[in-house]
Structure 1
């Protein structure tokens, strides 16, 4: 039984933290994206904890396929495309 809920949007199934506030993510569709969160983290005060590399590396995935961190920061899967590096 899968813990992930069925959703109409793509879900992150794996997230690997990289250098410079980047993540390698695998979606339930099989696509792999490189996500660059540096602009978001630098621009939005709500993400101040993510500026600490040790905390940034604690990224997890919630049951709806969103990226999340221990203190409540999260990013919806459908919003990740704007941070995708091509």
Structure 2
């Protein structure tokens, strides 16, 4: 089961996510925000967007929005935006 182990704000609605399989990618939240659902509308505010946190490997916000690490990982892989870190011996 894939988990997000680190997350960093990069720039306008983009978070760099590091996964438990040593992969990482830049996740663009704009397509999600464009849906304009009640929970994601708060992400239009950059101050609020930066209040993300990780809970049990998922990407979360204080309003209850929780994004599945498996779905994000799959989307990044499909978009060829997933990269793997090389381990140094």
Q: TM-score range by the shorter chain?
A: 0.7 to 0.9
Alignment of 1:1-86 (within 5 A): 9-46=1-38, 47-63=40-56, 65-80=57-72, 81-82=74-75, 84=76, 86=81
Distance 1:18 1:58 in 2: 13
Q: Deviations over 1:25-73 (max 9, x none)?
A: 111111111111101112132300111000100111012x110011111
Show structure 1 runs of 4+ deviating over 3 A. none
Provide the aligned length of Structure 1 versus Structure 2.
Answer: 76
Gap regions ≥5 residues in structure 2: 82-89
Decide which structure has the larger Cα Rg and report it: 2
Normalising to structure 2: TM-score of the pair? 0.77
Normalising to structure 1: TM-score of the pair? 0.80
Gap regions ≥5 residues in structure 1: 1-8
Q: Which has the higher strand share?
A: 2
- RMSD over equivalenced CA pairs, Å: 1.3
